[in-house]
Amino acid sequence: MDKVAYVVSDLHLGPGWLPDGTLDPLEDFTAGDDLVRFLDRIGTSGNPVELVIAGDFLEVPQTLPHVGLASPSDYLGTTEQESLQRVRVIMGKNPEIASGHPQVFAAMRRFMMEGNSITIIAGNHDIDLLWGEVWAEIFDAIYPPGAAGNLMLYEYCYTLGNAHHGRVYIEHGHEYDKANSFGDRMTMPFAFDAHGVRRLKRCWGTLFVEKVYNQLERERWFIDNVKPIPKVMSLGLRHDFRFTATALGLLATFLLTSRLPPIFGGVLGATSETVPPPTDEVVAALAEDALRAQIEAQLDDPAFRAEFEQVLLGADPTSLGAAVAGAAPALSLEEASGEILVLGGAGAEGDDYRRAARAVLEQDAAITTVIMGHTHGPIDGYTQPISLPDGRTGYYFNSGTWTRHLKDQGREYDWNEIADPTNYHSSNTYIKLEPQADGAYRATLGNWSG
């Protein structure tokens, strides 16, 4: 008989705690003790079970943030050794830098020692797992030699079951978010830079995290928790003026320069400009009408202009000059930031994900249930079943997240409330897949309170 399986996603294990005992501002995962108890409970039921992590097990782009800025190209990210360096911090192997989450990896190893299996699907925040050396490091930490269960990595998707009807299809879901899509179903995650160095491909969403959010979140830990971005900026202008001027400056330079070829960043020696173009010209070049109007409305304030221009001084002047001259079209906010959901929040069922789930169900009559993560919003598939043309009924679930999010998704929060950690909690949602007598699986959305 097939095993019971538990699906979780979007754990986002990051750097953990700093040596002084404070939480790294870029850390989104604080449910380590809950996850350890969850694994200990389901792993000692008496019968082998399978744990499926449906993407974003690790939060690599927000670990050692300086590493993400070292690439000579926006389109490409880290080398294999750079990814390994970041992942080792997450695993807890460099406590002089940050604690990481060694207790989670130890719990996963105990889980496998009980005869259970673990399946991990790569997500947009841990595509680094596809490096051979990175996966070997993870494998050695989790897999006890001779274990009865399997430890597997899938680059894109995983299908559970072998019945003629009732199988479960699982993927992370980021490929339906244009800001976080890598293309090619993650089969070609690497490319060579201009110097012949092999690097990970980098989607726009990751670039945005590494160039904008990592810097902002160091100052305001909660800045990555609320979207859409214009709303964050509007709140900040009223309650946190200096910080918001900095954020808008970073956002403007990112949107203008991220489509430029590498030559404009000085990578190939093009550094003819020594000062950025005039501020008003930079703002006028933005593609986003609402953002441009918001910045223009503040530039008459000397304090705002000073903070905004300070950020421009820190940008590459050649890139800014090329962007203002029209060397490449500016990104829009939608392209740059992707989802307009609260990070780790209840979210909503996006049409793109539901359409993708329908396509999977229509292409394979053996599949009844589709599970994704990525949006962080748990979805019980039985509340909105999918009626298929051949008369079958399918179900689309989302496994949610174990990261912190605002407790009440049904009301507006002000700036001070967003900054208050007591207004956040972790839902710790999962999907239990129970094999049925006919070989099908029955999915149940659950919540682990520990």
Domains and CATH numbers, the chain: 4-189+341-447 (3.60.21), 228-337 (no CATH)
Q: What is the pLDDT of residues 22-46, one digit of tens each?
A: 999 999 999 999 999 999 999 998 8
The rounded percent of the chain whose pLDDT value lies above 70 is: 89
Amino acid identity, position 134: V
Separation of CA 433 from chain center: 24
Tokens 């099908």 correspond to: 440
| pLDDT the model gives residue 294 | 84
Q: What is the pLDDT of residues 56-104, one digit of tens each?
A: 999 999 999 999 989 988 889 999 999 999 999 999 999 999 999 999 9
**Cβ atoms within 10 Å, residue 307:** 20
Q: Which residues of 191-203 are buried (b: 16+ CB within 10 A; e: fewer)?
A: eebeeeeebbbbb
Helix (H) or strand (E) holding 302: helix 302-314
CA distance 50 to 43: 9
| pLDDT the model gives residue 183 | 84
Contact in structure between 4 and 435 (CB atoms under 8 Å): yes
Stated length of the chain: 450
CA distance 93 to 153: 22
Nearest C-alpha neighbor of 13 from the set 63, 59, 68: 59
Assess whether pLDDT exceeds 50 at residue 266: no
| pLDDT the model gives residue 342 | 36
Tokens 């790294």 correspond to: 24
Q: Which residue has the higher pLDDT, 347 or 377?
A: 377
DSSP secondary structure of 83-136: HHHHHHHHHTS-TTT----HHHHHHHHHHHHTT-EEEEE--TT-GGGGSHHHHH
Q: What is the pTM for the complete model shown?
A: 0.87
Q: What is the pLDDT of residues 121-158, one digit of tens each?
A: 999 999 999 999 999 999 999 999 999 999 999 999 99
